[in-house]
Amino acid sequence: MRTRAGVCLALFTSTLLAQRAVDPKFTYHRVICIVPLVGNGTAEDPKRPKYAPWPEVQDPNGIIGFTYLATDDGASAVVEFVARTRAALQFLFEDQSLKPFELGRVPKANIESAIRQQRKDFDLNRFGLVMP
């Protein structure tokens, strides 16, 4: 049965090749890092990761999305920043207080190992912003 299905599959190769698309978790440029949580928790100044654009700015050349999980002590955020260009995230690499990881360039195991020091259950398989 599997062989027959495989033969059939080969016939659809051209169809498959036409359907290549980047998974929505891997679109754009993405950096994961641990940053302090800032904000006093009011509606005007909500809790959010440092560097998260707030109040909102619709700058297509800046950070276009972020999502985060709190660290185990609740003081910091494991955050993923998304931008259309790598240059828009360059400032993260220039902040000497951070250890940013660029998705697609750093092995998954390295990212998880580093983040789990502050968020024990961190699982890169289950983390990340799906850009609609």
Write down the least CB distance from residue 28 to another protein, Å. 10
Token readout for 127 is 């983390």
Query: Rounded to whole angstroms, how far apart are CA atoms 85 and 71?
Result: 27
Nearest alpha carbon to residue 80 among 27, 120, 117, 41: 27
Query: Rounded to whole angstroms, how far apart are CA atoms 78 and 14?
Result: 41
Write down the least CB distance from residue 4 to another protein, Å. 8
32 vs 82, beta carbon nearer another protein = 82
Query: Rounded to whole angstroms, how far apart are CA atoms 129 and 79?
Result: 10
Contact residues toward another protein (CB under 8 A) are 1-2, 4-6, 8-10, 12-13, 15-17, 19-20, 23-25, 39, 41-44, 46-48, 52-54, 56-58, 60, 64-69, 82, 108, 124-126, 129-132
Write down the least CB distance from residue 126 to another protein, Å. 7
